[in-house]
A and B are shown apart, each in its own frame.
Chain A
Amino acid sequence: MSRWYLFGLVGAAVLSLAAPTSADAAMPHAPLPNGQVVSGTLQFKPETPDPSAPNARTPVEGAVVEVFGATLSIDGRKVEELGELLGSATSDAEGTFVFEMPAGAGDYAVRLVLETLPAGVGLVDATKQTLPVRLAEGQSKAILFNLAEGDAATAGVPSRGDPWYERMARLAVNGLQFGLIIGMCAIGLSLIYGTTGLVNFAHSEMITLGAVLAWMFNVTFGVPLVLAAVLAMVIGAGAGALIDRGLWRPLRKRNTGLIAMSIVSIGLGLFMQYAILYQFGDRPAKYADYSVQTKSISFGPISLSPKEIIIMVLSALILVAVALGLRYTRLGKAMRAVSDNPDLAASTGIDVDRIITLVWTLGAALVTLGAVFQGVSETVSWTMGQQLLLLVFASVTLGGLGTAFGAMAGSIIVGVAILTVTVWWPSELQTVPALFLMIVILMVRPQGLFGRRERIG
């Protein structure tokens, strides 16, 4: 394959960056008009570059970009369905197009009209002809179309034309990945519930914290992401232990009721969420590494990028390790014993408080890693925990509150289910079937799929 292709546009990848560097660099041209806009620069590196300026890019003038209302996947990363055409914009002599968006938050899609490109110029990835845009209130975004000249450009085949079972298979694999990530986040919640009875509504902020910590190391301090993730895990785990020692343990000692504890967790979550917003800002961001991977590996109709494969393999390995650890190690057995019956566990000589702190530590470490995976596969934002929380709750309830195995199984079921239903169901409303599933399970089997029936009295 020819190496002579380059990205059409510098800049803000799919979503604009919170990093001080990129968003400005993406807009070297005239200042933006007031209000919310979607904009970008269409340019490509010529097949035979000018030797004096090997990195120079040729702007594409007169190419048309159409903007649609759209239904996006829950993460805003995929266009599930195009809505009505809102209008179009044409690129100027510098390749720049600007389209003023309706005010307020919304989901849109931007489509490049391939026929308006100069001959020989096309998209690097034909499936990226239509890009998703999720705007928050007052937000503007830069759009990147990967253009190239010659061999590197392929003709566009719209993915919606695939037979439903192929899309279903693709979605199932994406769902598996999503489910594994949810699983990483769910184990902590479930074990904490099992050992302390606390429904921790601040769990969502543990997710956000983990992803943001890794982002801080990775982007602000320039640490490679793998190392940043490890650092974030250490700090996240420490934070978990600290929160348990500093807050929950004293409350348990005072015999604080469970409703009161849940309310404290709501307060903690609210505080953490806005503290993160204060520090991190409201713009979603990408990690510096692994954000854009153009190569993909195909398995029949399913093509996966290397990072997706790595995320799935790693999280599956970790979940299996946790499951084995819970079943066969002393510590794991102690955790399950406390989860089963704290009083009984205490009477057999287990230091219940220590186990609970360890559960918090382990749970927080797993959440952090899950959050980093989520950040890699999508974006890091101050609301990512809140967006995941409902699905984590649904998974944990589905599998049986308090059981780690249930949490894992529930997560994978929820992940696969909510993505595969988007074949027929609008992805904006992805959480609806998950909640529905949860309620049905609660009605027919309140202890969850894998929980045990409770004893009364």
Chain B
Amino acid sequence: MDWSLIISNTFRSGITQTAIIYILAAIGMNLHVGYTGLMNFGQVGFMAVGAYGVGISTSYYDLPLPVGILVGLGCGVVLALLLGMPTLRLRADYLGIVTIAAAEIIRLVMKYQKFKDWSGGTNGINGFADDFQAWNPMTTSAKYGFEIGPLDLRFTGGDLWEMAIGWTLVLLAVLVMWRLVNSPWGRVLKSVREDENAARAMGKSIFRFKMQSLMLGGLFGTVAGMFYAISNNSVQPDNYSRAFTFFALTVAILGGLGRVWGPVIGGVLFWMLLSGVENLLKEGVTNDHIPESIMDGVQVGQVRFMLVGLGLMSLMIFRPQGIFGDKREIAIDARK
């Protein structure tokens, strides 16, 4: 067993781009599910429109990358309006169904082979964000960083640049969230979560607040999708499937719904746990500590998903307040 590899991979997973993408998406879901009580189970749809918004506008319409980013954000707003208009006035569960379906449809439409001259079809869109690395003050391929004992913390300049931008986005998002949820606006959101009719009787336009929450949380998802697309310099339709939403939801719950730092803590922990388990199993399989009859290399990935499913269930059942949460402040447990 290569312990140095396991430890390094585990630790790195908690801070690299993947974790950042999930944290950004989970911040949005935290606003929806944790603060407003909106069952948005289609966060990946917001990610997809962001990613495709920037991808399509830069590669098929030759817009500069910053303009493409604005287009992506615009797409997020439009999606929120389209989803919210028909469903926000209805019972909470309809939003869950409609968002999950809408996200799937976005993926199918983007993947549709006949639209490939417009959205890249099954091959997706590639190589539209070269500018992003061009702005990198570091040397893209050079290695930076250091090693502490078994822990290898060296990253390429390209990765570091992406991580720097990504964490800056996370901090900005957390700052915005902290400001908002501690304002009268956030107070109304929480009241909507607790009891819509009470908030209504107090003169609050529930629809407006839900829509704003859906839009803002969706925009965090859109930013996550754009970060995903730009850092990979590629958009692949099948990356935007619903498992992504469920992972992000797990991240948000792990850190504690209705807590500003919840998604960040959740995201780091989630990826360290997941990567730790995966690397342990993989090493176990390669070194024959785990017999082939039980698990092969491919099945390690599947076991990972099974663990996420079990983890999501157990968290919601046994620690709905999240790992570090305060039981009295559970955002959604006692909801009827």
Whether A and B touch (Cβ < 8 Å) is answered with: yes
Task: Please tell me if the beta carbons of A393 and B101 are within 8 angstroms of each other in the complex.
Answer: yes
Shortest CB-to-CB span from B150 to chain A, Å, is: 31
A278 and B93 within 8 A (CB): no
The answer on a CB contact under 8 Å between A83 and B113 is: yes
Given known A71-B114, A255-B334, contact A442–B317 (CB-CB < 8 A): no
Q: Report the bound CA distance from A137 to B39 in whole Å.
A: 31
**Nearest Cβ on chain B to A212's Cβ, whole angstroms:** 14
Tell me the complex Cα distance, A278–B108, Å.
Answer: 25
Residue of B nearest to A265 (CB): B313
A119 to B249, CA, bound (A): 62
Instruction: Tell me whether A270 and B86 are in contact (CB under 8 A).
Output: no
For B301, the closest partner residue in chain A by CB is A274
Decide if A435 touches B109 in the complex (CB within 8 Å): no
Instruction: Give chain B residues whose Cβ lies under 8 Å from the Cβ of A321.
Output: none
Provided the pairs A390-B101, A438-B98 are in contact, do residues A401 and B112 lie with their beta carbons within 8 angstroms? no
Additional A-B contacts beyond A259-B332, A271-B310 (7; CB < 8 A): A260-B316, A272-B309, A274-B303, A390-B100, A393-B97, A435-B98, A435-B105
A258 within 8 A of B: yes
Asked if residues B98 and A262 are in contact (CB atoms below 8 Å), the reply is: no
- In the complex, the answer to whether B312 meets A266 with C-beta atoms within 8 Å is yes
Residue in A263, A268, A394, A432 whose Cβ sees the most chain B Cβ within 10 Å: A263
- Enumerate chain A interface residues (CB-CB to B < 8 A): 69, 71, 83, 102, 104-107, 137, 193, 199, 201, 251, 255-260, 262-264, 266-275, 277-278, 386, 390, 393-394, 397, 401, 426, 428-429, 431-432, 435, 438-439, 442-443, 446
Q: Which residues of B are found within 8 Å of A432, using beta-carbon distances?
A: 105, 108-109
Contact B113 A69 (CB under 8 A): yes
The answer to whether A267 and B98 touch across the interface, beta carbons within 8 angstroms, is no
Q: Which of B39, B87, B111, B113 has the most CB of A within 10 A?
A: B113
**Residue of B whose beta carbon sits closest to that of A431:** B105
Q: Is the beta-carbon distance between B108 and A256 smaller than 8 angstroms?
A: no
Specify the main secondary structure of chain A where it touches its partner: helix
**Residue B333 contacts which of A69, A257, A262 (CB distance < 8 angstroms)?**
A257
- Minimum CB–CB distance for A388 against chain B, Å: 12
Chain B residue at minimal CB-CB distance from A432: B105
- Name 27 interchain pairs, CB-CB below 8 A, sorted by A: A71-B113, A106-B122, A199-B93, A201-B96, A256-B317, A257-B335, A258-B336, A263-B249, A263-B316, A264-B312, A266-B246, A267-B308, A267-B313, A269-B309, A271-B309, A278-B306, A426-B112, A428-B111, A429-B109, A431-B108, A432-B105, A432-B109, A435-B102, A435-B105, A442-B86, A443-B86, A446-B90
B92 interface residue (CB < 8 Å to A): yes
B283: interface (CB < 8 Å): no
Contact indicator B86/A439 (Cβ below 8 Å) = yes
Task: Indicate whether B198 reaches chain A with its CB closer than 8 angstroms.
Answer: no
Chain B residues near A104 (CB-CB < 8 A):
122-123
Q: Mark B311-336, 1 if CB is under 8 A from A, else 0.
A: 11111110010000000000011111
Among residues of B, the one whose C-beta sits closest to the C-beta of A277 is B302
In the A-B complex, list the 6 residue pairs whose CB atoms are closest, starting with the nearest. Answer: A271-B309, A267-B312, A270-B309, A257-B335, A267-B313, A274-B305
- Using known A-B contacts A104-B123, A266-B246, A278-B302, determine if residue A259 contacts B87 with beta carbons closer than 8 Å: no
Chain B residue nearest to A263 (CB atoms) is: B316
- Tell me, rounded to whole Å, the shortest Cβ–Cβ distance linking A39 to chain B: 21
* Cα-based distance from A63 to B122 in the complex (angstroms): 30
Which of B89, B101, B249, B312 has its CB near the most chain A CB atoms (within 10 A)? Answer: B101
Tell whether, in the assembled complex, residue B93 and residue A401 are in contact, meaning their CB atoms are under 8 Å apart.
Answer: yes
Whose C-beta in chain A lies nearest to the C-beta of B121?
A106
* Total number of B residues with any Cβ neighbor in A under 8 Å: 55
On whether the beta carbons of A259 and B86 are closer than 8 Å, the reply is no
Q: How far is the CA of A171 from the CA of B148 in the complex (A)?
A: 65
Cα A435 to Cα B87 with chains together (Å)? 13
Query: Which residue of chain A has its CB nearest to the CB of B38?
Result: A259
Give the residues from 125 to 180 in chain B that come closer than 8 angstroms, CB to CB, to chain A. none
Closest to B236 in A: A104
User: Are B37's CB and A83's CB within 8 A?
Assistant: no
Contacts of A83 in B (CB 8 A): 113-114
Contact A270:B312 (CB < 8 A) given known A258-B92, A390-B101: yes
Of the candidates B37, B94, B109, B113, which one forms a contact with A442 in the assembled complex, judged by CB atoms under 8 Å apart? B94
Say yes or no: is B33 at the interface (Cβ < 8 Å to chain A): yes
Question: Which residues of B come within 8 Å of A, CB atoms?
Answer: 33, 37, 39, 41, 86-87, 89-90, 92-94, 96-98, 100-102, 104-105, 108-109, 111-114, 122-123, 238, 242-243, 246, 249-250, 253, 299, 302-303, 305-306, 308-317, 320, 332-336
- A-chain residues with CB within 8 Å of residue B320 when the two chains form the complex: 260
Query: In the complex, A361→B100 CA distance in Å?
Result: 26
CA A320 to CA B19, docked complex, whole Å? 51
Instruction: Determine the distance from Cα of A256 to Cα of B320 in the docked complex, in whole angstroms.
Output: 10
CA distance A394 to B87 in the complex (A): 14
Give the complex CA separation of A106 and B122 in angstroms.
7
Give the residues in chain A near B86, CB-CB below 8 Å: 439, 442-443
Provide the residues of chain A in CB contact with B332, threshold 8 Å.
Answer: 257, 259-260
B161 → A minimal CB distance (Å): 29
Residues from chain A with a CB closer than 8 A to the CB of B93 are 193, 199, 258, 262, 401
Q: B111: which A residues are within 8 A, CB to CB? A: 428
- Distance of A442 Cα from B101 Cα, bound (Å): 14
Tell me if A429 and B313 are in contact (CB < 8 A).
no
Chain B residues with CB under 8 Å of A258's CB are: 92-93, 335-336
List the B side residues contacting A260 at CB < 8 Å.
Answer: 316, 320, 332-333, 335
- Cα A259 to Cα B310 with chains together (Å): 17
Q: Which residues of B contact A137 (CB under 8 A)?
A: 238
CA distance A409 to B283 in the complex (A): 53
- Name the residue among B97, B105, B122 with the largest chain A CB count within 10 angstroms: B97
Interchain CA distance A260-B311 in the complex, whole Å: 14
A278, B335: Cβ atoms closer than 8 Å: no
Closest beta carbon of chain A to B287's beta carbon, Å:
21
A84: nearest residue on chain B (CB-CB)? B113
Q: How far is the CB of A91 from chain B (nearest CB, A)?
A: 27
Q: Which of B33, B238, B302, B311 contacts A267 (CB 8 A)?
A: B311
Least CB distance, B331 to chain A, in whole angstroms: 9
Q: Tell me the minimal C-beta distance from A128 to chain B in angstroms.
A: 23
- A268 near B309 with CB under 8 A, answer yes
Q: Are A257 and B302 in contact (CB under 8 A)?
A: no
B contact residues around A428 at 8 Å (CB): 108, 111-113
Do A267 and B316 have beta carbons less than 8 Å apart? Answer: yes
Which A residue sits closest to B93, measured CB to CB?
A: A199
- Are B317 and A262 in touch, CB under 8 angstroms? no
The closest CB in chain B to the CB of A457 belongs to B197
Q: Shortest distance in angstroms between A73's beta carbon and chain B's nearest beta carbon?
A: 13
Q: Which residues of B contact A426 (CB under 8 A)?
A: 112, 114
- Considering the chains assembled together, what is the distance between the CA atoms of A426 and B104 in angstroms? 16
Cα A272 to Cα B306 in complex, Å, equals 7
CB-based nearest B residue for A81: B114
Q: Are B309 and A267 in contact (CB under 8 A)?
A: yes
